[in-house]
Structure 1
């Protein structure tokens, strides 16, 4: 064992957190590993360097879900950074959940409700539909500092609010899925109809087989000969499937035809409106939403 690591371990053992953090930081720069990541995060957290502890922890987040001790440390760091909702998301799949974690989250949520600006923060999130897209994005992010009960109550209303931007509604729904919520909720989809969903029964966006098929089709059609154009279409396609969540399969029955039209546009120019739910109808609707998002 090198001298630097030996000194770091001694400082850690003696709870000299500042010194331990400094020495583990040097070690982490030269020879990063899960173990050093854990020791560095613990030292930083105990030394009240919460932002840095969070940043380092995010380098190797999955390694914190392997045992009770590190789940507790992960939650402590999240809560120290006001990441209340993220604490729920990351522990949603931990079974059994350590009692200490439940207590930590309950205590943090109770403290959050005592803060003088709590009601204002809650109202801003609840009424985010009155804001511009940029402000809605900010309020969505800030809303993740709310206790789960309040976040869930507001989200239930926001998921059906026609003035919430589609990308924000989808982002909220993705959080509902990650939280594995079992309460049925209504969701206003892009066709302006309302559907009942249950978060715990939804697939994550990455789990949709069709997303991979669409990407493969794009790769086939453009190939490696024009990587810049391919990346542009890749970005557009990624935003399209995100906006269509959670009914991607319903909107895109034929991935090849979808990618062909994405690249080539309308084959027949017509003043007539496309048939509802047709490929042209969906892509025009998505194009309009995306133009509004970028201000184009």
Structure 2
């Protein structure tokens, strides 16, 4: 920071100490536009939190999330901001990715969820109803309801999520995102899901992997990178993006659609040039065409 910016920081800090939280937040926000440093971000988040602007505080905290995991004091600030913003699902996913802090803070999350369910029953029922009927809306409306559902306590979230996982009217991308959240919640139960083949499948949530940890995904990514990343970067970027869009539709049954990674790679990158197409390549291309049609309906291609 320049000497002038340091003086502005000191003045805003004094306002925070004097409990003039709203004015302090305004000063820190103006400074933060000029100086994207964690020390400014931290004081801005503190000011907004004390001024009860919880959603705004969380939005800024998310910009420096890694720094908040560095110490217990910073984690406590982050957790309090998240819980006052009712970001119950997001904070659970976050703690599952931070074993160092999970056991220390998970009780606070459970207590906050219990308190919310007790004191805001009408609001909770309304939120759950909106989530439960997610499949009734357009893709944009489904996205909005999916995002809003992260403010539900875990118990109510799972009631809606398990119903939506087998609802044929839920967009496949939304269902995939829902199941990826359930995987990150480290749940240990079996559920039934509706999938792209228009059939129901039983899935063990405890055995689900993150997309990038699936061996089939790693094999195909490696083939695309090896063939194109150096010689044809534009094609590499195009095929990599298309493959990850396909994965977004296929999760969590990626390996059911891709029993042969090499065939999927050839169907993706060289189908039109191939004159000796085997059965696995043809099947892979049929899957890819189906996904392309779904993506086109959503305006994604």
Structure-2-length-normalised TM-score: 0.80
Equivalences for residues 95-174 of structure 1 within 5 A: 95-97=103-105, 99-115=107-123, 118-174=124-180
Counterpart residue number, 2:191: 185
For the pair 1:86 / 2:90, whether they are aligned, the reply is yes
Equivalent in 36, 55, 71 of residue 32 of structure 1: 36
Equivalent in 232, 253, 259 of residue 238 of structure 2: 232
| Cα drift, residue 140 of structure 1 | 1.7
Q: Distance in 2 between matches of 1:108 and 1:259?
A: 48
- Residues paired across the two proteins, number: 291
Q: Residues 258 and 45 from structure 1, CA distance in 2 versus in 1: closer, same or farther, beyond 3 angstroms? A: same
Equivalences for residues 188-203 of structure 1 within 5 A: 188-203=194-209
Q: Residues 288 and 275 from structure 1, CA distance in 2 versus in 1: closer, same or farther, beyond 3 angstroms? A: farther
After the TM superposition, which of the residue ranges 24-33 and 136-145 deviates more from structure 2?
24-33
Contact 1:184 1:196 in 2 (8 A): yes
Contact 1:251 1:277 in 2 (8 A): no
After the TM superposition, which of the residue ranges 206-215 and 240-249 deviates more from structure 2?
206-215
Q: CA RMSD in A?
A: 3.3
| Cα drift, residue 120 of structure 1 | 4.0
After the TM superposition, which of the residue ranges 198-207 and 38-47 deviates more from structure 2?
198-207
Structure-1-length-normalised TM-score: 0.81
Q: Distance in 1 between matches of 2:84 and 2:177?
A: 24
Counterpart residue number, 2:296: 291
Q: 1:181-234 CA distances to partner (integer Å, 9 max, x unpaired)?
A: 223222233334433334343221233344344334334444466555543333
Q: 1:122-173 CA distances to partner (integer Å, 9 max, x unpaired)?
A: 2232122233333322222222233322221121121122232211211110
Q: Distance in 2 between matches of 1:106 and 1:71?
A: 21
Q: Distance in 2 between matches of 1:281 and 1:235?
A: 19
Equivalent in 270, 274, 291 of residue 264 of structure 1: 270
Q: 1:86-143 CA distances to partner (integer Å, 9 max, x unpaired)?
A: 233223451232544432332234344233xx43432232122233333322222222
Contact 2:83 2:109 in 1 (8 A): no
Q: Residues 32 and 254 from structure 1, CA distance in 2 versus in 1: closer, same or farther, beyond 3 angstroms? A: same
Q: Residues 23 and 245 from structure 1, CA distance in 2 versus in 1: closer, same or farther, beyond 3 angstroms? A: same
Equivalent in 246, 254, 258 of residue 252 of structure 1: 258
For the pair 1:241 / 2:254, whether they are aligned, the reply is no
Q: 1:250-280 CA distances to partner (integer Å, 9 max, x unpaired)?
A: 433444432332133354699xxx7799323
Unaligned residue ranges in structure 2 (runs of 5+): none
Equivalences for residues 36-55 of structure 1 within 5 A: 36-55=40-59
Contact 2:58 2:85 in 1 (8 A): yes
Q: Distance in 2 between matches of 1:12 and 1:202?
A: 46
Equivalent in 57, 60, 64 of residue 61 of structure 2: 57
Q: Distance in 2 between matches of 1:133 and 1:176?
A: 20
Q: Distance in 1 between matches of 2:18 and 2:206?
A: 44
Contact 1:20 1:43 in 2 (8 A): yes
| Cα drift, residue 55 of structure 1 | 2.0
Counterpart residue number, 2:220: 214
